Amino acid sequence: MAERSGGASGLLIGLGILGVAGLGLLLAFAAQGARDRQLDASPIGFGALTGTLKAAGIAARASHPYQSPLVEDLGLRILPLYDLDLHRTSDTPRDRADRIAATSLRDIDEETLATKLSEIPTLIMLPKWSGAMVELGVAHRQSLLARSSLRRVLRQIGVSRVEVQQAGAAFLPATMPEGQEMALFHAQTFERATLPNSCTEIIGMTAGALVVSCQMTGGEGPVLLLSDPDLLNNHGLAVAENAAFAPRLVAELIPADRPQTVYVDFSPDLLTAVDRDDERQDYTRGSAEFARFLTYPFGLFWAALLIVLGVVFWRGQRRFGPVAGVGAGPSSGPSSGDTGITRDRSKRLSLGAKARLLRLSGADARLAADFVQADLQDLAQTFFGREASAGSTERVLALLTRRDPALARDFAETSRRLTGDAALGPAALMRALDQYQSLRKKVLDHHGSA
């Protein structure tokens, strides 16, 4: 009993761990999804940009994890960058203090970023604010990112020697060529003196360059860089006439030979697809491909599966009890080997299950017949050993006939009466069973071995 209790306790502990692991995964994915939604809706998010562009008559669409637009259908990708170090993954914030102090708010893989830049002409909006703007919504100087961090991420993108400068705590106004009044708080611009020959200023302010086009290191295509994301984010679109200037700026940046559709890409994953129906496609399946099935939202299914499995196994444990060992049970007799014990126990369980079904169906005669047939087989094994075949019952009767013809005749007649097709009433059935048990006892007492 103690051994069975210990096994049950171990199983319950295992099921508890399984359920907790599934619940932990579910909560982790839910928390990550909540942080992403909070970032997109915050003052430094870009949830309002797509609607602003559409209202101005520009075809725009936002990234969605379940949609894969074709690269050939897109003219410009607007990519908010929240990662200050493309070479490492930032630590997950443990509490609100960590979220306020966080500098990398959404990691993106360097290889994924390079692919995005090569697929579609891309406007990268450099990061400017730390997590304090998301949590507190206060644009304080202490919430600004360090210039050294911006220098590092520019170098990782492939644009070297470009310096970023940050103005003081005031709205820096500027009048654009179209006449709109633009304003930026703590304006962040490129220092014109540091722009190399590979960079061309497209839009600027008195303080410095705002949008530049730079040839990346390695000879790859140009990349568009916006120094201050406040021009297009949720906070900036509500300032001055930024909401009127933003669509004009975006329309100017779309190449004339590309489709005039703007893709606002919030996702750190590569969601776009390439139309290669007429080309051979070779795929390399590595660990990264498998890891995609563990990320959101697929991770939710795995977490739910772990929880369901835990509940199912727990319910099975409660319903059927712990697994019994070989030969366990009060009816187990002396062992003559694991094979014999297993055979006997399996036979008892099978007969018990069949007897229960017959009792439930009211087939008492059939139950008695099955009992007599099984008992005759056991009697044959008593006489001739465990190797007795199915036809050994006739050998038992023949042996009894030689030794005690009268007993053999009565025993055979009673056995055939119980196992035959003739219907017996309850009283007759009980009398026949009593007679069978009495004759069987005589057989064993007087002729118990071959």
Q: Is the pLDDT of residue 285 over 80?
A: no
Domain range summary for the chain, segments of one domain joined by +: 42-274, 337-447
Sorting pLDDT into bands at 50, 70 and 90, what band is 58? Answer: very high
Provide the pLDDT for residue 77. 94
226 closest CA partner among 18, 49, 391: 49
160 with 148: CB under 8 angstroms?
Answer: no
User: What 3-state DSSP class applies to 225?
Assistant: strand
Sorting pLDDT into bands at 50, 70 and 90, what band is 95? Answer: confident
Provide the pLDDT for residue 435. 83
Q: What is the DSSP letter of 237?
A: G
pLDDT in tens, 209-219: 999 998 876 65
Q: Is the pLDDT of residue 158 over 70?
A: yes
Place of tokens 């053999």: 408
Q: Following DSSP, what letter does each residue of 90-112 receive, concatenated? A: PPPP-SHHHHHH-S--S---HHH
pLDDT in tens, 344-355: 666 666 666 666
What's the 3-state SS for 252-287?
HHCCCCCCCEEEECCCCCCCCECCCCCCCCCCCCCH
Provide the pLDDT for residue 263. 94
Could you give the CA distance from residue 313 to residue 8 in angstroms, rounded to a whole number? Answer: 12
Q: What is the DSSP letter of 306?
A: H
pLDDT in tens, 48-57: 899 999 999 9
* Residues 6 or more apart whose Cβ sits within 8 Å of residue 204: 189, 192, 210, 211
Provide the pLDDT for residue 218. 63
